[in-house]
Amino acid sequence: LWDMVTWELSTSTFNLAKQMQDCSAVDGNTEDLERDVLEMLMKALKLCDLETNSSRQVLYCFRAGLIHHRLGSFYHQALRTASDDAKKRTTLQLCRLNYEKSSNLLESFKEFKDFFQVQMERIALQELLAEESTNVQLKAKNYQIALNHFYESSNICLLYTSDAADDLLCV
């Protein structure tokens, strides 16, 4: 019974956070709404039981990947508007951390569509950092990281197309 209650609460919290985040992009970003969205996403993540072996563990892990993706996107957007250097560094670290966690979870479950979306956002983040950089070496480093993300995506793409081809052969 507790597993079912936790699952439903996790689902409701996640859906509410998604709605709030999507509406904040349309209505314009206010600090209170952003704080509420972040709070709801963190609550939804805490409700994802990733350690207990239950029938919903895979679903919790997939949802955690989606939540980390949304958190990464949230911090990515915040990075674009941040003006303070200390806040930018912290936001960048949080953005990278959440994108990486999302990428790892989605890749492990072979959720290729969502994985590619996260990878494209990671590449866009590195391009943003390269464009903002005035140091040539730092600019090149950011572009190299973007290329590495692209290369990771292409490897998964090859695995995906090979799996799809195998599936077609079985039919």
Task: Report the distance separating Cα 103 and Cα 128, nearest Å.
Answer: 19
pLDDT > 80? residue 55: no
The whole-model pTM stands at 0.84
Q: Looking at residues 144-166, what average pLDDT do you find?
A: 71
Number of residues that this document lists for the chain? 171
> What's the pLDDT band for 128 if we cut at 50, 70, 90?
very high
6: which residues sit within 8 A by CB, 6+ positions away? 47, 49
Mean pLDDT of 24-41: 76
The 8-class DSSP code of residue 56 comes to T
In whole angstroms, what is the distance from residue 80 CA to residue 13 CA?
27
3-state helix, strand, coil in the chain (%, to 5): 85, 0, 15
Q: Which two tokens stand for residue 164?
A: 């799809």
